[in-house]
Each structure stands twice: as C-alpha cells, then as structure tokens.
Structure 1
Amino acid sequence: MRDGGTGSAPDGVPAVTLPGVVDRHVHLGLVDRALLADGPVTEVHDLGWDPPEVAAWAADPPSGVRVRYAGPFHTAPGGYPTGRPWAPDAAVRHVATPREAAAAVADVVAAGGFAVKVALHAGMALLPDDVLRALVDGAHAGGLLVLVHAEGDGQAQRAIDAGADTLVHVPWTEALPDAVIARAAHMTWISTFAIHDGPGRPIGLERALDNARRFVAAGGRLVYGTDMGNGPTPVGVNEREIELLGRLLEGEALRRAVLGPPSAPALEAPLPLPETATDLITWLRASRRLPHSPK
C-alpha cells in the first residue's frame, strides 16, 4: 500500500506505508555515496557536478536509490563557484553570451540532465540579464527545469522575474518584499535551512524561515533538500532539516515536502501516520523498506 496506506506489522501492530524520502539538493561528489544504500532516502537530485561523472553515478547508483542530476553550475566567467576548492573545473560551465547559453543547454539535454542549474551569486561575476533569460528560455524549450542558486541582494528577484522554476535554497541573505514573494508563488523552493543553523548564523536562518513562511502562505511549494556535502551534513536523512521544515508545515503538507510521490519505493513502519516533524522523524527511524521496493 502507498502514501498513507495501512498494513500490519509481524507483531500485529498496525503499520503505515509511505514513499521514501527525496532529497532535492545534494552534491554526491562530496560525500560517501555508498552510505545511502537501502536507507530511507530513495531519490536524490545532484545539483552541480561534472556531467560524465554524475551520469555514471546515476547509471550505477547506491542500492535502492534513484539519482537525478542537473549537470554543471552555469555561471558568468569568473562567477560562483569558480575557484572553490570543492568544485572541479568540469562542474562549472562559463556562459558569456546568449549563443553560449543555447549551446550549454543543449549539452545538458545530451547528457541526460533533468534541469539547468544556474548560479547568481553577488560578490562574484554575474550573468547579465540577456544571458540569464537565454538559459531560462532555452531550458524550457528543451523540456528542462531551471534551478537557481540565488545569493545576495536582488539575485532571488532576478531569478523569479526571469522565469526560473526553482530556487535551490530558500533565500537567506535578504528579506524579500511581499510583492516579490507573490510573483514567486508558482515556483518550488528547496529548504536547505539546516546549513544556516549553528553558532553565529541565526540571522540567515531566521530570514530564510520568514521568507519561506510568507512563500507558503502565498501558495508556493516548499520541499525538502539538504545541500548534502555542504559541510558536515549527514549522508541520509537530515533530521534537523525536517525539524526546521516542521516549523512551517505539518500533516500532508509536510509529508509531501519530504517524501516522494505514491509511485516511489515504499517504506513501512509500525506507527501511526506522521503528522508533525517529530512524528515523521520517529516514523523514519522505525521504517523499513518493503520487500518489493526496487534495490
């Protein structure tokens, strides 16, 4: 049974069956991928790596895990994440003109990517508006989503107004005006709250939570993603990320944000249907994969 179905555990305790966890923002090149095998996370979306390398991981993933990928970061020459020690040269695609944008999108299609990842990072070189628009239009024409890393004043608004589909982080560097959030209501935002958690970073976390709260109220779709590989993030379920999402969502909305569709590989636990973040964490700790789930 799927998506809230009930069965029976061996000891007779009623069991609930739900889809596995989908982490919509990971960097598999920065973690021990094998640790994901046969756990509660059944799908991950790699959002920035060397295309042939990540395609090979998708073809031979950890047991029981589906890997989808966006290919490289598309950025201006010298833009983020150029020069970062964690980013291989092949994980960064420099785009200087609309013509280069069209070629870059074609390469993502050819490589089997599901989306075009775009970087707009203030303080480093930025894509001009015409190149940003060419990436968005080209991706949509090719049937791909546009996922944007937007950091710094005005960059989230640029992504929203250019027609991007997803912000890969809930904006945390500025409080977005309500009018901008209203224009973003058709979008998906990926949570990644926990990367801002910890000593010395409460302002960014509180900004992100406030932006997300108003985004959800405006009708936007908020989903679970951890930026796995960014610092000491756990490989698997990030319970702190679920706790922070639980400040904004509960019940079916929380389950939709964290878990996959009904068609996803299934988990089962001898516990009631989880309604809160605490419930969901407890449920996931107790869950097991059903025998018919893909391995």
Structure 2
Amino acid sequence: MRHLTVLPGVVDHHVHLGLVDRALFADSPVVEVHDLGWVIAEVAAWAADPPAGVRVRYAGPFHTAVGGYPSGRSWAPVEAVRPVVDDGDARAAVSIAAERGASRIKIALHAGMPLLGDEELYWLVRAAHETGLTAVVHAEGPGQVARAVAAGADALAHAPWTERVPDDVLADAGRRGMTWISTLAIHGPEERAVAIENIRRFRAAGGRVVHGTDLGNGPTPAGLVPEEILALGEAGLTGEDLLAAVLAPENGSGPRLAAPGPRPRDAEELVKWLQTSVRVEQETP
C-alpha cells in the first residue's frame, strides 16, 4: 500500500468573491478564503452560507481617500468603496465593519489616484487594532509600502510589484512582524520579477509571506491556482516554509486533504500533491 500523507487544506488570503463563480470553491483543495474588498452586506451573506467545505473571512469595503482607488473602476460597486475624510470618520468606518462581522480592514494606497493622508491612515490602522481587526493595505506606487509599514499595518495585500522596496523599509517591516500576501501570478514577467525579488529580500529580513491569488483580478477561475504556488517556489519558499505559507495551520480544525506519496518538499511537488488530493473531514482539537 502506498504511503498516504494528510495535510491541512489551502488558504487563499486574497480573493474577491463578487468577481468569481464562488461555487467552484466547493470541495476543492481550498478550504478557506479571505475576501479583501466587496460590499460588506453581500460578503457577510456569502460567509454565512459559503460554498461547501469553505470558510469565508472578509474585510468589507476598500477604505480609501475621496476619489481614491478603486473609485470609478468598472468592477467595483459603489458600496464596496468607503471614502474616509478624517480621523473620526476612520474610527466610524472601522466600527461599522467590525459590527458587520469583518475580521480585517482593507486600506487602499494607490499612488495613481487620490491618497489617504498620514493621519487618516494612522487612525484606520489604530482603530482596526483597537477593535481586534487586521489592517491590510493595498500599497501601489513609490513610497506607499513605506507609509503602510510606518503606520503599523499588519499585512500588505500584494507583495510589492511597483518598486524595489528600500532595505531600511524591509528591515522595519520584518521587525514589526508584517505579513505579505503573495499575488504573484496576476502580474506580467517584469512586475512579477520585482515582486519575487522583494519577497526574497523581505524573508531574509525576517518577514512572513502567505499565499494569495487576488482571484477576480483576471479570468482565472475560482479554486486552486497552481501558478501562484509555483511562483512562491520561484521566490525561494520550500519545505515547511512553503507548506506554512500555502496551507491552513497544522493545529487548526476543519477539512484535511489526503493524497498518496510523501510530504511535499517544493512547489512542484506541492502542486502535484494538491491536484491529486481528496477531502478528509478530520477535526483536530
């Protein structure tokens, strides 16, 4: 009899459920998804009645400047964008998201559009922390990663792809325990190369990287995205570091995956293992 390996399922830390066929997640290798930007009433309803075997966590709307990203984008409903005008408004916005079941707050810093000021950014992050929520920042354009780090954000929604992050910013992010969500496969070759090099340097500075696809950004269907895992391998993740980045915690509860063969050691082995895996309803205390 061939050896059978049992592991936790895949967590996708960055999706947009309103832009994909959510039903395709059902009973797939993906057991948990984090929606990082949508109409909060809609995503809360999806979390209450998710695809079979999938846990949904969510952030609610994008918190941004008046006219800031993603305002006006054809894919973004008006209710998925929450302009923030001052510190009091920031606290109120976070409070509303928390009351509606959000586990994180999405903050947008996009240099090509109007930007939140430092004070509004600070108060969004502070209010998130005071409410027990994770502050996740979309940081795009020169200097925006540095602003997110300085404000104390917990995570970046994308590994930075628009600039080579300065060494001192990477060191500060590593010291603060920041997490980056990968989203490498959505980029073209040049931007992906920038993001991969930033990940390599960030991890060397002590930073943590987790798997996320930004599903809904482009035509990739919901479910497992092998290209994202292979890109994490290109960024240097192997062995237990790769498994920790892609899979749910070993000591968590919920569905497990089982497939023949040994524990995967690299990205190619992990993709092959996941593609042959089946669900095992195993609860771990």
Pairwise TM-score range, normalised by the shorter structure? over 0.9
| Structure 1 residue identity aligned to 2:241 | A
Structure 1, gaps ≥5 residues long: 1-11
| Alignment partner of 2:257 out of 267, 270, 273 | 267
Give the alignment of 1:1-295 within 5 angstroms: 12-185=1-174, 186-196=177-187, 201-247=188-234, 248-262=236-250, 263-264=252-253, 265-292=255-282
Aligned mates of 1:291, 1:212 — CA distance in 2: 34
| Structure 1 residue identity aligned to 2:243 | R
Aligned mates of 2:150, 2:30 — CA distance in 1: 33
Shift of 1:123: 1.4
Q: Cα deviations across residues 32-84 of structure 1 (Å, max 9, x unaligned)? A: 00011011000000000000100000000000000000000000000000000
Shift of 1:291: 4.1
Shift of 1:202: 2.0
Aligned mates of 1:288, 1:100 — CA distance in 2: 46
Shift of 1:292: 4.1
Aligned mates of 1:55, 1:291 — CA distance in 2: 25
Structure 2, gaps ≥5 residues long: none
Q: Cα deviations across residues 179-221 of structure 1 (Å, max 9, x unaligned)? A: 110011110000000010xxxx322111101110000111100
Shift of 1:234: 3.0
SS in 2 for 1:149: strand
TM-score (norm 2): 0.96
Shift of 1:293: 6.4
Shift of 1:117: 0.4
Residue of structure 2 equivalent to 1:4: none
| Structure 2 residue identity aligned to 1:216 | R
Q: How many residues align?
A: 279
SS in 2 for 1:17: strand
Residue of structure 2 equivalent to 1:8: none
SS in 2 for 1:222: strand
Alignment RMSD? 1.1
| Structure 1 residue identity aligned to 2:270 | L
Q: Cα deviations across residues 97-119 of structure 1 (Å, max 9, x unaligned)? A: 10100100100110110011000
User: Any runs of at least 4 consecutive aligned residues in structure 1 with deviations exceeding 6 A, and if so which?
Assistant: none
Aligned mates of 1:69, 1:286 — CA distance in 2: 29
Q: Cα deviations across residues 232-272 of structure 1 (Å, max 9, x unaligned)? A: 12311110000010121000000000000122420000111
Aligned mates of 1:174, 1:101 — CA distance in 2: 28
Tell me, yes or no, if the aligned pair for 2:69 and 2:114 is still in contact at 8 Å. yes
SS in 2 for 1:236: coil
SS in 1 for 2:5: strand
Identity of aligned residues (%): 59
SS in 1 for 2:108: strand
| Structure 1 residue identity aligned to 2:119 | D
SS in 2 for 1:195: coil
